[in-house]
Structure 1
Amino acid sequence: MEMVQVVFLTVLMFFVIVTVHEWGHYYFAKRAGILVREFAIGFGPKLFSYKRNETQFTLRLLPFGGYARMAGEDPELIEIQTGQTIAVRLNNENQVKRIYLDQLDNRKNVIRGEVQFIDLEERLSLRLDVDGEFQQYEVHPQAMMVAKGTETQIAPKDRQFGSKSVGQRALAIFAGPAMNFILAFILFAVYIQMVGLPVENPTYVQIGKVSEGMPADEANLQEGDIVESINGTPIGADAQKIIELTSASADKPMEWTIRRGDQVLNVTLTPRTVKGEEGGKVGIVAQMPTRQAGFTETITGSGKAMVETTNIIFVGFKQLIEKFSMDDLGGPVRTFEVTGQIAKSGIDQLTQWAAILSLYLGIFNLLPIPALDGSRLIFLGVEALRGKPVDPNKEGMVHFIGFAMLFLLMIAVTYNDILRLING
């Protein structure tokens, strides 16, 4: 049951982090009037899909991220050529509401003809040759093209990503990482509320987490117990002393004096050696006493955690560049593994870890790497300085190459993660 809960919490955490990021793109794109064709979590084959208003919401198999696909970012997949035979269905205002590209003989209540003229971006009109008679039609701005059983909404020029101002496009792109920063700030604040703040000038050390199956668990020590002395040595507020005394007593019985509320308990513990670790272990995390954080303390504490974690992330980037090694990289498999281990430590630790991952995702996406949000913002900055956009084909090629390289790197680190798991 615990394993099911850990898996559920791990998947839920990633789902929330990615969804918040993509929702940022989606929300500000919609505010700018951009048609968002798909809001997807994950990549690859669809697991679940439903359509709401103009957007298809999908959950996909590979949990490597997500995307909000906006009209005009990529070349339209469906094009109608002059001379092509199509069928159209009109609404009550005689506007084209549906355009059928195949199975024309099976379509009912339609007008079938050969395309003489069509403009689905600016003029929103088309002209058909229907049995030798030319007929002109206005196209509804939300008309659907139907081919191979799939409906694709047309994207007039004013609904496409490229038609919006540099500021609107930059906001739609930056909003993804920004939502991750906001989520990280909120999660750090929630974590502070969960664990509290250290008491000033503490006089004692208390037991935090107790590992199942270890000597402390077998002796029924509990979270919140105060360690008063070990082998007659007073502990006071010196958590390091507990570690030193325990480490030096591997396989040797120790006498612990514990205070639990108004009770004083004398407990005998025998520290064990743990593979890969030095000295004896009893299976506890010693922690200093804490108090409930106030509102102002929570806000300032969360901001401080954001700054400190950001510094650690950039130090990690620097070390990775200076001493690059595949063993230092972790993909989705390793991240899921670490998250699962943290989830076993409690919801408070998982909340802090989620805050760190959300902040990391926001920062990573702003790096000037092709295919990431940071690279797209650089192209918009160049456009703002030049007064005209970079050639879309050249920009698209840069992003495509960047995405391909990131995907290959993801495959490599995932393979590395799997080998690490197999080899223990």
Structure 2
Amino acid sequence: MNTVIAFIFMFGLLVFIHELGHLIFAKRAGMLAREFAIGFGPKIFSYRKDETLYTIRLLPIGGYVRVAGDDPEIVELKPGYHIGIEFNEQNKVNKIIVNNKSKYPNAKVVEVEHIDLDHDLILLCHDLNTEERIQYEIDRKALFVMDEKETLIAPYDRQFGSKSVGKKAMQVFAGPLMNFLLAIVIFWGLGFVQGVPVEEASLGSVEEGSPAEQAELVEGDTITSIDGKEINDWTEFVLYVQERPSEEIALTVDRAGETIETSLVTNSYETETGEMIGRIGVTRDFDKAPLEVFSYGFTQVYEIGKLILDALGMLVTGQLSLDALAGPVGIYTATDEVVQTGILNFFMWTAMLSINLGIVNLLPLPALDGGRLMFLGYEAIRGKPLDPQKEGIFHFIGFALLMLLMIAVTWNDIERLFM
């Protein structure tokens, strides 16, 4: 049960932060954000605040912010249509009812001659009772009603397409940016709680009764060489010890500037795979200096991001197969294993997935943020955007391919569970 709660929390946090970035910068740019959604498919929860509908949807495979102008939103009203209209106190049209007009007894029914909901915000119509030709102003916050569903109209200056390339690019880039910032904040938190791992082979705690204690090693000692081989960092030290189970090793130790020579026999430990590795009973040293913690957030994001990009490069060049990828099932399984090791490792895992989500979303593929940025780059060079219908086709194809990839990866995850 702990894993289920942890997975829902982690997934919700990563998607929420990503989409929050899109929402914040859409509003800052003056765009009308119609919906902020976590998940896809049928709604299981919704709440409206001001202009935006906040929803949680059934399928936990991402989320989205629906901005006015991203896709066709309201039915085009052609000349000859009969519609119902209601007015505000300024005698401006504040509700346009397309069908089921009988359910709105206060609405005035007119025949459309011309309507502009983007620029001029006017309705030129015929009164069906008097045959009079009348022009009305439309309120900027008028509601368009179709099948009793109300949609706020979006004047052109509130639509995505009306903004500069820079503002549109920032709104798209803000999602991945927030994932990187989330990872930085998590690493800062980990740094303040447990400290920053020291690069040198410096010892933290020494286990009671361990080979290290018997060799009189103490907290703060730094291993500078083993068996005459220079040791430059903690990883090198651990690997050297692990490769020598039940073997005697000679250590050179720096203790507050004093050089000490000692030796010990490593313990032998069997891993889950049956491999025997050496251990001496020490933990890594951590530094809680504020400057170290501050830089730790940025360096970890850089290092982990570099590893992810290297893996993607290997995937593209065929050095890594698709079998190495994990879908929702694989991530859930990995999360289950991480949760068993403690909350700090869980947050470390969350930060790594946040970086991964940010990088993957920046790939120049249709349906991803990177694909949208690619089209915006094309717009900046060409001086005008690609035809929206053509771009929509590209994104639809990209989304379909991504869904097929997710299905394939999820199938691999399930197969691995039963192997």
TM-score range, shorter chain: 0.7 to 0.9
**1:275 CA displacement:** 5.5
Q: CA 1:247/1:113 → structure 2, altered by over 3 Å: closer, same or farther?
A: farther
Q: Distance in 2 between the 1:165 and 1:201 partners? A: 52
Q: Distance in 1 between the 2:281 and 2:388 partners? A: 58
Q: Secondary structure at the match of 1:115?
A: strand
The answer for unaligned runs of 5 or more in structure 2 is: 218-222, 224-236, 248-266
* Counterpart mapping for 1:74-89 below 5 A: 74-89=71-86
Residue-by-residue CA offset, 1:40-83 (whole Å, 9 max, x unaligned): 11111111111111111111111111111111111224222221
Q: Distance in 2 between the 1:160 and 1:197 partners? A: 45
Q: Distance in 1 between the 2:26 and 2:303 partners? A: 32
1:16 aligns with 2:13: yes
The equivalent of 2:97 in structure 1 is: 100
Aligned AA (1:29): A
Q: Secondary structure at the match of 2:211?
A: strand
Q: CA 1:193/1:226 → structure 2, altered by over 3 Å: closer, same or farther?
A: farther
Aligned AA (1:46): K
The answer for unaligned runs of 5 or more in structure 1 is: 207-224, 249-269
Equivalent pair of 1:145/1:154 in contact (CA under 8 Å): yes
1:351 aligns with 2:329: no
Q: CA 1:360/1:112 → structure 2, altered by over 3 Å: closer, same or farther?
A: same
Aligned AA (2:381): L
Q: Distance in 2 between the 1:203 and 1:11 partners? A: 37
Q: CA 1:294/1:203 → structure 2, altered by over 3 Å: closer, same or farther?
A: closer
Q: Secondary structure at the match of 2:346?
A: helix
Q: CA 1:388/1:167 → structure 2, altered by over 3 Å: closer, same or farther?
A: same
The equivalent of 2:291 in structure 1 is: 296
Equivalent pair of 2:70/2:160 in contact (CA under 8 Å): yes
Aligned AA (1:188): F
**1:8 CA displacement:** 1.4
Equivalent pair of 1:331/1:413 in contact (CA under 8 Å): yes
**1:171 CA displacement:** 0.9
Q: CA 1:227/1:29 → structure 2, altered by over 3 Å: closer, same or farther?
A: farther
Q: Distance in 1 between the 2:85 and 2:208 partners? A: 78
The equivalent of 2:171 in structure 1 is: 172
Match of 1:45 among 42, 45, 51: 42
Q: CA 1:194/1:285 → structure 2, altered by over 3 Å: closer, same or farther?
A: farther
Q: Which of 67-76 and 194-203 deviates more?
A: 194-203
The equivalent of 1:229 in structure 2 is: 211
Equivalent pair of 1:190/1:351 in contact (CA under 8 Å): no
Equivalent pair of 2:243/2:277 in contact (CA under 8 Å): no
Q: Secondary structure at the match of 2:18?
A: helix
Residue-by-residue CA offset, 1:347-374 (whole Å, 9 max, x unaligned): 1111111111111111111111111111
Q: Distance in 2 between the 1:304 and 1:241 partners? A: 25
Q: Distance in 2 between the 1:82 and 1:286 partners? A: 83
Q: Distance in 2 between the 1:419 and 1:299 partners? A: 42
**1:116 CA displacement:** 1.5
* Counterpart mapping for 1:79-158 below 5 A: 79-130=76-127, 131=129, 132-158=131-157
Q: Which of 233-242 and 11-20 deviates more?
A: 233-242
Q: Distance in 2 between the 1:117 and 1:356 partners? A: 54
Equivalent pair of 1:95/1:139 in contact (CA under 8 Å): yes
Q: Distance in 2 between the 1:417 and 1:353 partners? A: 18
**1:337 CA displacement:** 1.6
Q: Distance in 2 between the 1:280 and 1:162 partners? A: 60
Equivalent pair of 1:121/1:156 in contact (CA under 8 Å): yes
1:342 aligns with 2:338: yes
Q: CA 1:77/1:334 → structure 2, altered by over 3 Å: closer, same or farther?
A: farther
Q: Distance in 2 between the 1:203 and 1:332 partners? A: 38
The equivalent of 1:215 in structure 2 is: none
Q: Secondary structure at the match of 1:38?
A: strand
Q: Which of 32-41 and 107-116 deviates more?
A: 107-116
Q: CA 1:286/1:81 → structure 2, altered by over 3 Å: closer, same or farther?
A: farther
* Counterpart mapping for 1:249-264 below 5 A: none
Q: Distance in 2 between the 1:149 and 1:227 partners? A: 75
Residue-by-residue CA offset, 1:307-342 (whole Å, 9 max, x unaligned): 211111111112212235331121111112212221
The equivalent of 1:256 in structure 2 is: none
1:307 aligns with 2:302: yes
Aligned AA (1:136): Q
Equivalent pair of 2:86/2:107 in contact (CA under 8 Å): yes
**1:235 CA displacement:** 8.0
- Under a length normalisation based on structure 2, what TM-score does the superposition of the two structures give? 0.83
1:380 aligns with 2:382: no
Match of 1:63 among 60, 64, 67: 60
Q: Which of 237-246 and 119-128 deviates more?
A: 237-246
Q: Distance in 2 between the 1:287 and 1:62 partners? A: 45
Q: Distance in 1 between the 2:93 and 2:54 partners? A: 26
The equivalent of 1:370 in structure 2 is: 366
Q: Distance in 1 between the 2:364 and 2:197 partners? A: 39
Aligned AA (1:320): L
The equivalent of 1:197 in structure 2 is: 196
Q: CA 1:123/1:357 → structure 2, altered by over 3 Å: closer, same or farther?
A: same
Q: Distance in 1 between the 2:333 and 2:150 partners? A: 40
